[in-house]
A and B are shown apart, each in its own frame.
Chain A
Protein backbone atom coordinates (compact mmCIF):
# COMPACT_ATOMS: atom_id res chain seq x y z
CA UNK A 1 0.00 0.00 0.00
CA UNK A 2 2.81 2.39 0.86
CA UNK A 3 4.24 2.09 -2.62
CA UNK A 4 0.87 2.74 -4.16
CA UNK A 5 0.54 5.82 -2.05
CA UNK A 6 3.72 7.30 -3.40
CA UNK A 7 3.16 6.81 -7.09
CA UNK A 8 -0.05 7.98 -8.74
CA UNK A 9 -2.37 5.18 -9.81
CA UNK A 10 -2.65 6.60 -13.30
CA UNK A 11 -0.09 8.88 -14.80
CA UNK A 12 -0.63 10.11 -18.32
CA UNK A 13 2.50 11.59 -19.80
CA UNK A 14 2.27 13.77 -22.90
CA UNK A 15 -0.07 11.41 -24.72
CA UNK A 16 -0.46 12.19 -28.36
CA UNK A 17 -2.45 10.36 -31.01
CA UNK A 18 -2.85 10.98 -34.72
CA UNK A 19 -5.11 9.03 -37.05
CA UNK A 20 -3.62 10.02 -40.37
CA UNK A 21 -4.53 13.69 -40.76
CA UNK A 22 -6.71 13.76 -37.64
CA UNK A 23 -4.88 14.87 -34.54
CA UNK A 24 -7.19 13.27 -31.99
CA UNK A 25 -5.21 13.74 -28.78
CA UNK A 26 -2.64 16.48 -28.29
CA UNK A 27 -0.02 16.30 -25.61
CA UNK A 28 -2.37 15.33 -22.81
CA UNK A 29 -0.89 14.92 -19.32
CA UNK A 30 -2.56 14.35 -15.99
CA UNK A 31 -2.45 11.97 -13.09
CA UNK A 32 -5.02 10.35 -10.88
CA UNK A 33 -4.41 9.11 -7.33
CA UNK A 34 -6.13 6.40 -5.40
CA UNK A 35 -9.25 7.82 -3.84
CA UNK A 36 -9.95 10.12 -6.76
CA UNK A 37 -12.80 9.95 -9.28
CA UNK A 38 -11.90 11.87 -12.39
CA UNK A 39 -14.71 13.00 -14.68
CA UNK A 40 -13.59 13.17 -18.26
CA UNK A 41 -15.71 15.69 -20.13
CA UNK A 42 -15.75 17.18 -23.58
CA UNK A 43 -17.80 17.57 -26.73
CA UNK A 44 -18.25 14.70 -29.21
CA UNK A 45 -15.02 13.85 -30.96
CA UNK A 46 -12.94 15.61 -28.30
CA UNK A 47 -10.63 12.63 -27.85
CA UNK A 48 -11.97 11.20 -24.58
CA UNK A 49 -12.40 7.64 -25.79
CA UNK A 50 -9.12 7.74 -27.68
CA UNK A 51 -7.27 8.80 -24.51
CA UNK A 52 -8.94 6.07 -22.48
CA UNK A 53 -8.14 3.45 -25.12
CA UNK A 54 -4.50 4.41 -24.94
CA UNK A 55 -4.39 4.12 -21.15
CA UNK A 56 -6.13 0.74 -21.33
CA UNK A 57 -3.54 -0.50 -23.83
CA UNK A 58 -5.86 -0.90 -26.80
CA UNK A 59 -4.38 1.88 -28.92
CA UNK A 60 -0.71 2.65 -29.19
CA UNK A 61 0.03 6.33 -28.66
CA UNK A 62 1.77 8.23 -31.44
CA UNK A 63 3.97 9.62 -28.70
CA UNK A 64 3.96 9.84 -24.92
CA UNK A 65 2.85 7.07 -22.62
CA UNK A 66 0.65 6.17 -19.69
CA UNK A 67 1.67 4.54 -16.42
CA UNK A 68 -0.70 2.51 -14.28
CA UNK A 69 0.50 1.63 -10.79
CA UNK A 70 4.01 2.30 -11.99
CA UNK A 71 3.80 0.01 -15.03
CA UNK A 72 4.34 1.55 -18.43
CA UNK A 73 1.54 0.55 -20.78
CA UNK A 74 3.86 0.37 -23.78
CA UNK A 75 6.48 -1.68 -21.95
CA UNK A 76 4.40 -3.94 -19.76
CA UNK A 77 0.88 -4.00 -21.20
CA UNK A 78 -0.10 -7.23 -19.45
CA UNK A 79 0.68 -5.81 -16.00
CA UNK A 80 -1.31 -2.69 -16.82
CA UNK A 81 -4.25 -4.66 -18.20
CA UNK A 82 -4.27 -6.88 -15.12
CA UNK A 83 -4.66 -3.96 -12.76
CA UNK A 84 -7.30 -2.12 -14.79
CA UNK A 85 -11.00 -2.68 -15.14
CA UNK A 86 -11.90 -1.17 -18.48
CA UNK A 87 -15.34 -0.51 -19.89
CA UNK A 88 -15.03 0.26 -23.60
CA UNK A 89 -17.40 2.76 -25.20
CA UNK A 90 -20.66 0.98 -26.00
CA UNK A 91 -19.82 -1.86 -23.58
CA UNK A 92 -19.19 -4.56 -26.21
CA UNK A 93 -19.62 -8.17 -25.15
CA UNK A 94 -20.11 -11.54 -26.80
CA UNK A 95 -23.77 -11.61 -27.78
CA UNK A 96 -24.09 -15.35 -28.22
CA UNK A 97 -22.96 -16.06 -24.65
CA UNK A 98 -25.19 -16.13 -21.62
CA UNK A 99 -24.47 -13.56 -18.95
CA UNK A 100 -23.17 -16.23 -16.60
CA UNK A 101 -20.91 -17.82 -19.21
CA UNK A 102 -19.56 -14.43 -20.15
CA UNK A 103 -18.72 -13.52 -16.55
CA UNK A 104 -17.16 -16.95 -16.08
CA UNK A 105 -14.98 -16.38 -19.11
CA UNK A 106 -13.83 -12.98 -17.84
CA UNK A 107 -13.09 -14.42 -14.39
CA UNK A 108 -11.14 -17.30 -15.87
CA UNK A 109 -9.03 -15.10 -18.09
CA UNK A 110 -8.35 -12.79 -15.17
CA UNK A 111 -7.04 -15.78 -13.26
CA UNK A 112 -9.84 -16.07 -10.72
CA UNK A 113 -10.56 -19.75 -10.11
CA UNK A 114 -12.46 -22.19 -7.99
CA UNK A 115 -14.52 -21.00 -5.06
CA UNK A 116 -13.17 -17.50 -5.40
CA UNK A 117 -14.70 -17.26 -8.85
CA UNK A 118 -18.14 -18.12 -7.53
CA UNK A 119 -17.80 -15.49 -4.85
CA UNK A 120 -16.66 -12.82 -7.28
CA UNK A 121 -19.45 -13.52 -9.72
CA UNK A 122 -22.09 -13.75 -6.99
CA UNK A 123 -20.97 -10.46 -5.54
CA UNK A 124 -20.96 -8.60 -8.81
CA UNK A 125 -24.27 -10.10 -9.93
CA UNK A 126 -25.83 -8.87 -6.73
CA UNK A 127 -24.18 -5.49 -6.96
CA UNK A 128 -25.35 -4.84 -10.52
CA UNK A 129 -28.63 -6.73 -10.11
CA UNK A 130 -28.20 -9.26 -12.88
CA UNK A 131 -29.87 -12.18 -11.07
CA UNK A 132 -32.89 -12.27 -13.38
CA UNK A 133 -30.93 -12.41 -16.65
CA UNK A 134 -28.08 -14.75 -15.72
CA UNK A 135 -29.05 -17.50 -18.13
CA UNK A 136 -30.18 -15.23 -20.94
CA UNK A 137 -27.93 -14.72 -23.96
CA UNK A 138 -26.51 -11.23 -24.01
CA UNK A 139 -27.83 -10.39 -27.48
CA UNK A 140 -31.40 -10.80 -26.21
CA UNK A 141 -30.92 -8.28 -23.39
CA UNK A 142 -32.15 -4.71 -23.44
CA UNK A 143 -29.60 -1.96 -24.02
CA UNK A 144 -29.41 -1.06 -20.35
CA UNK A 145 -28.87 -4.66 -19.29
CA UNK A 146 -26.13 -5.04 -21.89
CA UNK A 147 -24.46 -2.02 -20.37
CA UNK A 148 -24.82 -3.56 -16.93
CA UNK A 149 -23.17 -6.76 -18.11
CA UNK A 150 -20.32 -4.59 -19.36
CA UNK A 151 -20.08 -2.92 -15.96
CA UNK A 152 -20.06 -6.29 -14.24
CA UNK A 153 -17.18 -7.36 -16.48
CA UNK A 154 -15.30 -4.19 -15.56
CA UNK A 155 -15.41 -4.57 -11.78
CA UNK A 156 -15.45 -8.38 -11.55
CA UNK A 157 -11.82 -8.78 -10.52
CA UNK A 158 -11.99 -5.87 -8.07
CA UNK A 159 -9.36 -3.87 -9.97
CA UNK A 160 -7.71 -0.98 -8.27
CA UNK A 161 -7.90 1.24 -11.33
CA UNK A 162 -11.17 1.71 -13.21
CA UNK A 163 -11.53 3.30 -16.61
CA UNK A 164 -15.09 3.55 -17.80
CA UNK A 165 -16.23 5.14 -21.02
CA UNK A 166 -19.76 6.49 -20.50
CA UNK A 167 -20.74 3.92 -17.86
CA UNK A 168 -24.23 5.28 -17.26
CA UNK A 169 -25.22 5.77 -20.90
CA UNK A 170 -28.49 3.95 -21.56
CA UNK A 171 -29.31 3.12 -17.95
CA UNK A 172 -32.66 3.88 -16.37
CA UNK A 173 -32.76 6.55 -13.62
CA UNK A 174 -32.68 3.94 -10.85
CA UNK A 175 -29.71 2.20 -12.33
CA UNK A 176 -27.92 5.49 -12.95
CA UNK A 177 -28.34 6.19 -9.29
CA UNK A 178 -27.13 2.70 -8.37
CA UNK A 179 -24.07 2.96 -10.54
CA UNK A 180 -23.17 6.38 -9.18
CA UNK A 181 -23.53 5.13 -5.64
CA UNK A 182 -21.40 2.14 -6.53
CA UNK A 183 -18.70 4.35 -8.02
CA UNK A 184 -18.68 6.55 -4.94
CA UNK A 185 -18.39 3.53 -2.67
CA UNK A 186 -15.51 2.15 -4.68
CA UNK A 187 -13.79 5.51 -4.85
CA UNK A 188 -12.09 5.28 -1.46
CA UNK A 189 -9.52 2.70 -2.40
CA UNK A 190 -9.54 2.95 -6.19
CA UNK A 191 -8.53 5.39 -8.86
CA UNK A 192 -11.39 5.91 -11.28
CA UNK A 193 -11.77 7.71 -14.59
CA UNK A 194 -15.23 8.03 -16.09
CA UNK A 195 -16.18 9.88 -19.23
CA UNK A 196 -19.64 11.30 -19.41
CA UNK A 197 -21.89 13.78 -21.17
CA UNK A 198 -24.11 14.09 -18.12
CA UNK A 199 -22.73 17.03 -16.21
CA UNK A 200 -24.77 16.43 -13.09
CA UNK A 201 -22.79 13.21 -12.78
CA UNK A 202 -19.69 15.29 -12.21
CA UNK A 203 -21.30 16.84 -9.16
CA UNK A 204 -22.68 13.53 -8.02
CA UNK A 205 -19.56 11.38 -8.15
CA UNK A 206 -16.41 13.14 -9.31
CA UNK A 207 -13.79 14.64 -7.10
CA UNK A 208 -12.13 16.19 -10.10
CA UNK A 209 -13.04 17.10 -13.67
CA UNK A 210 -11.04 17.45 -16.84
CA UNK A 211 -12.52 19.09 -19.89
CA UNK A 212 -10.95 18.15 -23.16
CA UNK A 213 -11.80 19.52 -26.59
CA UNK A 214 -10.08 19.02 -29.92
CA UNK A 215 -7.64 16.73 -28.13
CA UNK A 216 -6.44 19.33 -25.64
CA UNK A 217 -7.06 19.75 -21.94
CA UNK A 218 -8.92 23.02 -21.37
CA UNK A 219 -9.76 22.64 -17.73
CA UNK A 220 -8.51 20.55 -14.83
CA UNK A 221 -9.92 21.12 -11.36
CA UNK A 222 -12.61 20.30 -8.82
CA UNK A 223 -16.31 20.44 -9.72
CA UNK A 224 -16.59 23.54 -7.54
CA UNK A 225 -13.84 25.27 -9.47
CA UNK A 226 -15.55 24.30 -12.71
CA UNK A 227 -18.79 25.77 -11.50
CA UNK A 228 -17.03 28.97 -10.57
CA UNK A 229 -16.17 29.48 -14.23
CA UNK A 230 -19.79 30.38 -14.82
CA UNK A 231 -21.41 33.66 -13.70
CA UNK A 232 -24.56 31.72 -12.90
CA UNK A 233 -22.60 29.13 -10.93
CA UNK A 234 -24.00 26.55 -13.28
CA UNK A 235 -21.97 23.58 -14.45
CA UNK A 236 -23.58 23.34 -17.91
CA UNK A 237 -22.94 26.99 -18.47
CA UNK A 238 -19.33 26.58 -17.41
CA UNK A 239 -18.91 23.66 -19.81
CA UNK A 240 -20.29 25.73 -22.69
CA UNK A 241 -18.10 28.67 -21.85
CA UNK A 242 -14.96 26.61 -21.79
CA UNK A 243 -15.61 24.49 -24.84
CA UNK A 244 -17.15 27.18 -27.04
CA UNK A 245 -14.38 29.65 -26.37
CA UNK A 246 -12.28 27.77 -28.89
CA UNK A 247 -11.88 29.24 -32.36
CA UNK A 248 -14.53 27.76 -34.66
CA UNK A 249 -12.14 25.58 -36.65
CA UNK A 250 -11.04 23.83 -33.47
CA UNK A 251 -14.48 22.88 -32.28
CA UNK A 252 -13.78 19.35 -33.41
CA UNK A 253 -10.59 17.44 -33.70
CA UNK A 254 -9.05 19.63 -36.32
CA UNK A 255 -6.96 18.57 -39.22
CA UNK A 256 -3.35 19.55 -39.16
Chain B
Protein backbone atom coordinates (compact mmCIF):
# COMPACT_ATOMS: atom_id res chain seq x y z
CA UNK B 1 0.00 0.00 0.00
CA UNK B 2 2.73 2.41 1.02
CA UNK B 3 4.66 1.70 -2.15
CA UNK B 4 1.59 2.39 -4.27
CA UNK B 5 1.27 5.75 -2.56
CA UNK B 6 4.94 6.57 -3.10
CA UNK B 7 4.81 5.68 -6.80
CA UNK B 8 1.58 7.60 -7.20
CA UNK B 9 3.00 10.68 -5.51
CA UNK B 10 6.11 10.67 -7.68
CA UNK B 11 4.12 10.21 -10.84
CA UNK B 12 1.59 12.90 -10.01
CA UNK B 13 4.39 15.23 -9.08
CA UNK B 14 6.04 14.74 -12.44
CA UNK B 15 2.81 15.62 -14.27
CA UNK B 16 3.02 19.03 -12.71
CA UNK B 17 6.79 19.30 -13.13
CA UNK B 18 6.33 19.26 -16.91
CA UNK B 19 3.99 21.32 -19.11
CA UNK B 20 1.90 18.17 -19.71
CA UNK B 21 -0.41 18.87 -16.80
CA UNK B 22 -1.07 22.49 -17.64
CA UNK B 23 -1.52 21.89 -21.34
CA UNK B 24 -3.93 19.08 -20.62
CA UNK B 25 -5.99 21.03 -18.13
CA UNK B 26 -6.22 24.09 -20.34
CA UNK B 27 -7.17 22.04 -23.40
CA UNK B 28 -9.68 20.04 -21.36
CA UNK B 29 -11.39 23.11 -19.96
CA UNK B 30 -11.34 24.88 -23.30
CA UNK B 31 -12.82 21.90 -25.12
CA UNK B 32 -15.53 21.27 -22.52
CA UNK B 33 -16.39 24.94 -22.88
CA UNK B 34 -16.68 24.75 -26.66
CA UNK B 35 -18.68 21.56 -26.56
CA UNK B 36 -21.03 22.73 -23.86
CA UNK B 37 -21.80 26.23 -25.03
CA UNK B 38 -21.33 25.93 -28.75
CA UNK B 39 -22.23 22.41 -29.79
CA UNK B 40 -24.39 21.69 -26.79
CA UNK B 41 -26.28 24.98 -26.86
CA UNK B 42 -26.11 25.30 -23.09
CA UNK B 43 -28.01 28.59 -23.01
CA UNK B 44 -30.37 28.04 -25.93
CA UNK B 45 -31.72 24.87 -24.40
CA UNK B 46 -32.89 26.97 -21.52
CA UNK B 47 -32.77 24.06 -19.13
CA UNK B 48 -31.18 23.97 -15.74
CA UNK B 49 -29.02 20.87 -16.15
CA UNK B 50 -25.55 19.91 -17.30
CA UNK B 51 -26.61 17.51 -20.03
CA UNK B 52 -24.93 19.51 -22.73
CA UNK B 53 -21.76 19.48 -20.63
CA UNK B 54 -21.56 15.77 -19.88
CA UNK B 55 -22.83 14.37 -23.16
CA UNK B 56 -19.56 15.13 -24.93
CA UNK B 57 -17.25 13.68 -22.30
CA UNK B 58 -16.82 10.30 -24.01
CA UNK B 59 -15.61 12.06 -27.17
CA UNK B 60 -13.36 14.40 -25.31
CA UNK B 61 -11.84 11.54 -23.36
CA UNK B 62 -11.35 9.54 -26.52
CA UNK B 63 -8.47 11.81 -27.49
CA UNK B 64 -7.39 13.41 -24.26
CA UNK B 65 -7.10 10.36 -22.03
CA UNK B 66 -4.85 8.34 -24.36
CA UNK B 67 -2.69 11.45 -24.49
CA UNK B 68 -2.15 11.25 -20.73
CA UNK B 69 -1.85 7.49 -20.63
CA UNK B 70 0.60 7.11 -23.51
CA UNK B 71 3.58 8.21 -21.47
CA UNK B 72 2.87 6.07 -18.42
CA UNK B 73 5.00 3.12 -19.47
CA UNK B 74 6.48 3.88 -22.87
CA UNK B 75 8.49 6.73 -21.45
CA UNK B 76 9.84 4.53 -18.65
CA UNK B 77 10.91 1.98 -21.22
CA UNK B 78 12.37 4.47 -23.63
CA UNK B 79 14.43 6.36 -21.06
CA UNK B 80 15.53 3.18 -19.30
CA UNK B 81 14.12 4.27 -15.94
CA UNK B 82 12.07 1.09 -15.96
CA UNK B 83 15.29 -0.72 -15.01
CA UNK B 84 15.61 1.53 -12.00
CA UNK B 85 11.94 1.17 -11.07
CA UNK B 86 11.90 -2.60 -11.44
CA UNK B 87 15.02 -3.09 -9.31
CA UNK B 88 13.57 -1.14 -6.40
CA UNK B 89 11.91 -3.32 -3.76
CA UNK B 90 8.40 -3.04 -5.18
CA UNK B 91 6.18 -5.40 -7.13
CA UNK B 92 5.03 -4.79 -10.69
CA UNK B 93 1.46 -4.72 -9.41
CA UNK B 94 2.28 -1.85 -7.06
CA UNK B 95 3.96 0.07 -9.85
CA UNK B 96 1.07 -0.45 -12.26
CA UNK B 97 -1.58 0.53 -9.72
CA UNK B 98 0.43 3.50 -8.45
CA UNK B 99 0.89 4.90 -11.93
CA UNK B 100 -2.73 4.30 -12.86
CA UNK B 101 -4.00 6.00 -9.72
CA UNK B 102 -1.76 8.99 -10.37
CA UNK B 103 -3.19 9.42 -13.85
CA UNK B 104 -6.72 8.92 -12.55
CA UNK B 105 -6.17 11.41 -9.79
CA UNK B 106 -4.91 13.85 -12.35
CA UNK B 107 -8.03 13.52 -14.51
CA UNK B 108 -10.09 13.95 -11.36
CA UNK B 109 -8.33 17.25 -10.77
CA UNK B 110 -9.04 18.36 -14.34
CA UNK B 111 -12.66 17.32 -13.97
CA UNK B 112 -12.98 19.11 -10.64
CA UNK B 113 -11.77 22.29 -12.27
CA UNK B 114 -14.95 22.38 -14.34
CA UNK B 115 -16.82 23.38 -11.15
CA UNK B 116 -17.60 26.92 -12.40
CA UNK B 117 -20.11 25.47 -14.81
CA UNK B 118 -21.84 23.71 -11.95
CA UNK B 119 -21.98 26.95 -10.03
CA UNK B 120 -23.27 28.75 -13.12
CA UNK B 121 -26.12 26.35 -13.66
CA UNK B 122 -27.12 26.65 -10.00
CA UNK B 123 -26.99 30.40 -10.29
CA UNK B 124 -29.12 30.49 -13.42
CA UNK B 125 -31.69 27.94 -12.42
CA UNK B 126 -32.60 25.13 -10.13
CA UNK B 127 -30.93 21.95 -11.40
CA UNK B 128 -31.18 18.47 -9.89
CA UNK B 129 -27.85 18.35 -8.15
CA UNK B 130 -27.98 14.61 -7.44
CA UNK B 131 -28.06 14.03 -11.18
CA UNK B 132 -25.05 16.27 -11.56
CA UNK B 133 -23.12 14.45 -8.85
CA UNK B 134 -24.00 11.12 -10.48
CA UNK B 135 -22.82 12.50 -13.80
CA UNK B 136 -19.49 13.53 -12.35
CA UNK B 137 -19.07 10.05 -10.86
CA UNK B 138 -19.99 8.48 -14.19
CA UNK B 139 -17.52 10.68 -15.99
CA UNK B 140 -14.72 9.85 -13.58
CA UNK B 141 -15.41 6.11 -13.80
CA UNK B 142 -15.38 6.31 -17.56
CA UNK B 143 -12.11 8.20 -17.48
CA UNK B 144 -10.71 5.36 -15.35
CA UNK B 145 -11.75 2.86 -18.00
CA UNK B 146 -10.05 4.84 -20.76
CA UNK B 147 -6.94 5.25 -18.63
CA UNK B 148 -6.63 1.56 -17.81
CA UNK B 149 -6.75 0.77 -21.53
CA UNK B 150 -4.23 3.48 -22.31
CA UNK B 151 -1.87 2.40 -19.56
CA UNK B 152 -1.85 -1.20 -20.74
CA UNK B 153 -1.24 -0.20 -24.35
CA UNK B 154 1.58 2.16 -23.39
CA UNK B 155 3.41 -0.78 -21.82
CA UNK B 156 3.40 -2.51 -25.21
CA UNK B 157 5.61 -0.01 -26.99
CA UNK B 158 8.44 2.44 -26.43
CA UNK B 159 6.85 4.75 -28.95
CA UNK B 160 4.34 7.15 -27.44
CA UNK B 161 2.72 7.98 -30.77
CA UNK B 162 1.98 4.34 -31.46
CA UNK B 163 0.66 3.95 -27.91
CA UNK B 164 -1.62 6.93 -28.46
CA UNK B 165 -3.03 5.76 -31.78
CA UNK B 166 -3.70 2.20 -30.65
CA UNK B 167 -5.32 3.41 -27.42
CA UNK B 168 -7.61 5.77 -29.32
CA UNK B 169 -8.70 2.94 -31.63
CA UNK B 170 -9.45 0.55 -28.76
CA UNK B 171 -11.23 3.22 -26.75
CA UNK B 172 -13.20 4.13 -29.84
CA UNK B 173 -14.38 0.53 -30.15
CA UNK B 174 -15.46 0.61 -26.52
CA UNK B 175 -17.54 3.72 -27.18
CA UNK B 176 -18.82 2.64 -30.55
CA UNK B 177 -20.35 -0.60 -29.39
CA UNK B 178 -23.07 1.36 -27.58
CA UNK B 179 -23.68 3.97 -30.19
CA UNK B 180 -27.22 3.98 -31.67
CA UNK B 181 -25.67 4.05 -35.15
CA UNK B 182 -23.94 0.75 -34.54
CA UNK B 183 -26.78 -0.80 -32.60
CA UNK B 184 -29.21 0.17 -35.37
CA UNK B 185 -27.25 -2.02 -37.77
CA UNK B 186 -28.08 -5.00 -35.59
CA UNK B 187 -31.58 -3.84 -34.80
CA UNK B 188 -34.30 -5.79 -36.55
CA UNK B 189 -32.38 -8.90 -37.49
CA UNK B 190 -30.09 -9.76 -34.60
CA UNK B 191 -31.55 -11.28 -31.43
CA UNK B 192 -32.09 -8.72 -28.71
CA UNK B 193 -29.69 -10.64 -26.50
CA UNK B 194 -26.82 -10.01 -28.90
CA UNK B 195 -27.68 -6.34 -29.18
CA UNK B 196 -27.77 -6.04 -25.42
CA UNK B 197 -24.47 -7.85 -25.12
CA UNK B 198 -22.80 -5.53 -27.60
CA UNK B 199 -24.29 -2.50 -25.96
CA UNK B 200 -23.29 -3.70 -22.51
CA UNK B 201 -19.63 -3.59 -23.50
CA UNK B 202 -19.86 0.05 -24.24
CA UNK B 203 -18.69 2.87 -22.06
CA UNK B 204 -21.56 4.86 -23.46
CA UNK B 205 -24.31 2.55 -22.21
CA UNK B 206 -23.04 2.57 -18.64
CA UNK B 207 -22.05 6.20 -18.67
CA UNK B 208 -25.49 7.26 -19.83
CA UNK B 209 -27.15 4.97 -17.34
CA UNK B 210 -25.32 6.38 -14.31
CA UNK B 211 -25.73 9.87 -15.68
CA UNK B 212 -29.50 9.64 -15.39
CA UNK B 213 -29.02 9.90 -11.65
CA UNK B 214 -29.94 6.36 -10.67
CA UNK B 215 -26.73 4.70 -9.65
CA UNK B 216 -27.10 1.05 -10.56
CA UNK B 217 -24.49 -1.16 -8.91
CA UNK B 218 -24.11 -3.09 -12.18
CA UNK B 219 -22.83 -0.02 -13.96
CA UNK B 220 -20.30 0.58 -11.23
CA UNK B 221 -19.24 -3.05 -11.33
CA UNK B 222 -18.83 -2.81 -15.10
CA UNK B 223 -16.26 -0.06 -14.77
CA UNK B 224 -14.48 -1.74 -11.87
CA UNK B 225 -14.23 -5.02 -13.77
CA UNK B 226 -13.12 -3.25 -16.91
CA UNK B 227 -10.41 -1.29 -15.09
CA UNK B 228 -9.23 -4.40 -13.21
CA UNK B 229 -9.07 -6.42 -16.39
CA UNK B 230 -6.95 -3.89 -18.25
CA UNK B 231 -4.66 -3.30 -15.28
CA UNK B 232 -4.16 -7.02 -14.93
CA UNK B 233 -3.24 -7.16 -18.60
CA UNK B 234 -0.98 -4.19 -17.96
CA UNK B 235 0.92 -6.10 -15.25
CA UNK B 236 1.42 -9.06 -17.56
CA UNK B 237 2.63 -6.84 -20.40
CA UNK B 238 5.09 -4.96 -18.19
CA UNK B 239 6.49 -8.19 -16.84
CA UNK B 240 6.90 -9.67 -20.29
CA UNK B 241 8.29 -6.63 -22.07
CA UNK B 242 10.15 -4.59 -19.46
CA UNK B 243 13.56 -5.58 -20.74
CA UNK B 244 13.00 -5.82 -24.47
Contact = CB atoms under 8 A, between A and B. Distances in A.
Interface string A91-131: 01111110001000110111100000000000000000000
Interface string B24-58: 00000000000000000000000000000000000
B88 A106 contact: yes
Contact of A109 (B79, B80, B89): B89
Contacts of A88: 80, 83-84, 87
- Among A57, A88, A153: residue with most chain B CB under 10 A: A88
Interface in A58-101: 58-59, 78, 81-82, 84, 86, 88, 90, 92-97, 101
A93 B14 CA distance: 13
B242 A58 contact: yes
A106 B81 CA distance: 13
Given A96-B18, A108-B6, A110-B89, A58 B83 contact: yes
Contacts of A26: none
Interface residues of B, number: 23
Interface string B164-187: 000000000000000000000000
A110 B14 contact: no
A9 interface: no
Contacts of B80: 88, 90, 92
A94 B91 contact: no
B3 interface: yes
B79 A78 contact: no
A202 interface: no
A137 B6 contact: no
A56 interface: yes
A53 interface: yes
A78 B95 CA distance: 13
A81 B88 contact: yes
B75 to A, nearest CB: 10
- Among B2, B14, B83, B90: residue with most chain A CB under 10 A: B83
Range class of the A interface residue count: 20 to 34
Interface string B198-219: 0000000000000000000000
B243 interface: yes
B14 A82 contact: no
Nearest to A20: B244
Interface string B78-106: 01110110111111000000000000000
Contacts of B242: 58
A53 B17 CA distance: 30
A109 B17 contact: no
A81 B14 CA distance: 24
Contacts of B9: 105
A161 to B, nearest CB: 12
B81 A97 contact: no
Nearest to B10: A105
8 contacts: A57-B86, A58-B86, A58-B243, A81-B87, A81-B89, A97-B14, A108-B6, A109-B7
Interface of B: 2-3, 6-7, 9-10, 13-14, 17-18, 79-81, 83-84, 86-91, 242-243
